[in-house]
Amino acid sequence: MKNVAVLVEDVPAEQRERERSAAPRPRSQPRTLILGHFIGSPSTQKSVFAPQFGPDHVILYQKNIEAVCRTEEEIREQVRLTLIHEVGHYFGMSEEQLRDV
């Protein structure tokens, strides 16, 4: 991996906005927590001809990870799994491929 930052934020911006507006979520729409996000170009799509606009980065969402875990050990394991998942996106893997891993 080259030029990839790993950042930690409380929650995704969309979730923060939803919580601020306090709009009720329809019951038909289950609550899904995003634990991490890869932002950038997968290494399989990089080109010397395409301009780079800063480092690719992985964001881990601390409060969401904590919400799905009960112990510190579970948090460490979830951080590891989430980071592996997002790094998989850096290497060009799709959600389907990552589910198989």
Q: Is position 83 within any domain?
A: yes
The total domain count for the chain is 1
> What single-letter DSSP state applies at residue 68?
T
Q: Give pLDDT tens digits for 24-52.
A: 666 655 568 999 999 988 888 777 776 66
Q: Is position 81 within any domain?
A: yes
Res 38: pLDDT = 95
Q: Is position 73 within any domain?
A: yes
Residues in the chain where the model's pLDDT stays below 70: 22-31, 50-52
Q: Is position 48 within any domain?
A: no
Q: How much is the pTM?
A: 0.80
CATH code of residue 67:
3.30.2010.20
Res 22: pLDDT = 67
Q: Is position 75 within any domain?
A: yes
Could you count the other beta carbons within 10 Å of the beta carbon of residue 65? 20
Q: Is position 96 within any domain?
A: yes
**Domain limits at 17?**
4-23+31-43+55-100
Res 41: pLDDT = 85
> 66-91 in b/e burial notation, b at 16+ Cβ within 10 A?
eeebeeeeeeeebbeebeebbbbbbe
Instruction: Tell me how far apart the alpha carbons of residues 82 and 6 are, in angstroms, rounded to a whole number.
Output: 12
